[in-house]
Amino acid sequence: MEASNVHFQVPVDDETEEEGIRSGSISPIPPHLNPTLTITAATPTPNPSSPITPGAATPAASTTPAPIDDERTSFLSSSSDSSSYGTKDNVVRRSLNEPPVDSRRASVDGLQHLDIRGWALARQPEFWRLFLMLGVLTGVGLMTINNIGHSVKALWYAFDPKRDSKEVERFQGVHVSILSLCSFSGRLISGTVSDVLKKKFGYSRVWLVFASSSVFLLGQFAGMGVSNPHSIWLVSGLNGFGYGLVFGVFPTIVSEAFGLHGLSQNWGTMTLGPVIFGNITNLFFGKIYDGHSQHMEEGRYECLEGIGCYRSAYALTAFASIAVMITALWDIFIHRRENAGKRKVMTATGAFVH
């Protein structure tokens, strides 16, 4: 755009001017001033590559921002984004620097531009809290999911050593089905419940993580206390339901914490937690189970101690579930404190109130 001077000549009638000066309604113009009104207007500079037809209207400049590339960076990149959309603080600063707008529109704008990924994700304390909560809880669940067959066999060998092995295998399959159905139910319920908690009551979705860890804790108590093979469905059912709860709500928590644009990268990074902690809990269970096993005449090892074969493993995962419960409450407290401070600042500046 270039600035050009547009001149408007103001006609002055001599007789009218003299009468106005005599009556005092018009002040005489000093001789050094030019009675020409100059208005500076902005006129568009023509683009040689796109000639404008004479008489045609000049198109207005586009105000639509350039689209954000959803998958430009990886976790190994030096920065998640070169723009100002890198952190939550930038979203707040953008809102504070802009003039007051409608609250809903401003809130949506902030969520749209929140984009934390790559190494910027690793620098967020919230990422490590969520990573540990997801990893530990899924590790607790995977220990039962991967070893429910051994638990069923150990209980049946102690409860009824003469039980046919084919029937024991059938019971093992039943508990695998219980795990699957309860996990499905947890995933189905967690999404709906988290939406109700968030939208209707204004609670954090992390409360579902707290609920999941509570269900897991009950499952670990069942694993330490159930010695009758007819009641071990409590162990498989509670652990399956807790596993479904945490996996059903966690992708939404990750998207709200770090933005939608890098969700696939961030969620892929998060799922490294189950790989790490799942192997840890499985190795721990196997170490305890093998330590109580006996060498049989057929050359194989079997544990005949019933619940004593694996009780110590569930004691460990019970403490892990309690640790996640504490971490979830800590995360909820931190978010409440941060949101309260942001509301005060945004209310004072008129940015938006959400």
Segment among 27-36, 91-100, 122-131, 174-183 with least mean pLDDT: 91-100
Please indicate, yes or no, whether residues 20 and 134 belong to a single structural domain of this protein: no
Residue bearing the bigger pLDDT, 31 or 278:
278
Residue bearing the bigger pLDDT, 305 or 77:
305
Please indicate, yes or no, whether residues 144 and 183 belong to a single structural domain of this protein: yes
| CATH number of the domain within which 255 lies | 1.20.1250.20
Model pTM? 0.67
Please indicate, yes or no, whether residues 181 and 103 belong to a single structural domain of this protein: no
Answer yes or no: is pLDDT of 225 > 50.
Answer: yes
Answer yes or no: is pLDDT of 257 > 70.
Answer: yes
Please indicate, yes or no, whether residues 111 and 145 belong to a single structural domain of this protein: no
Please indicate, yes or no, whether residues 109 and 151 belong to a single structural domain of this protein: no
Please indicate, yes or no, whether residues 145 and 248 belong to a single structural domain of this protein: yes
* Most confident stretch, 82-86, 182-186, 301-305: 182-186
In a domain, 218, yes or no: yes
Instruction: Measure CA of the first residue to CA of the last residue in the chain; give whole Å.
Output: 38
CA distance 244 to 121: 25
The pLDDT of residue 341: 72
**Displacement of CA 349 from its chain's centroid (Å):** 27
Q: What is the domain count for the chain?
A: 3
Please indicate, yes or no, whether residues 234 and 97 belong to a single structural domain of this protein: no
The pLDDT of residue 85: 43
Please indicate, yes or no, whether residues 100 and 24 belong to a single structural domain of this protein: no
Give the domain extent around 106.
81-115
Q: What is the pLDDT of residues 329-339, one digit of tens each?
A: 999 999 888 87
Please indicate, yes or no, whether residues 202 and 338 belong to a single structural domain of this protein: yes
Answer yes or no: is pLDDT of 36 > 50.
Answer: no
Please indicate, yes or no, whether residues 133 and 211 belong to a single structural domain of this protein: yes
Q: What is the pLDDT of residues 298-348, one digit of tens each?
A: 777 788 888 999 999 999 999 999 999 999 999 999 988 887 777 667 676
- Burial class of residue 203 (count of CB atoms within 10 Å of its CB; 0-12, 13-18, 19+): middle
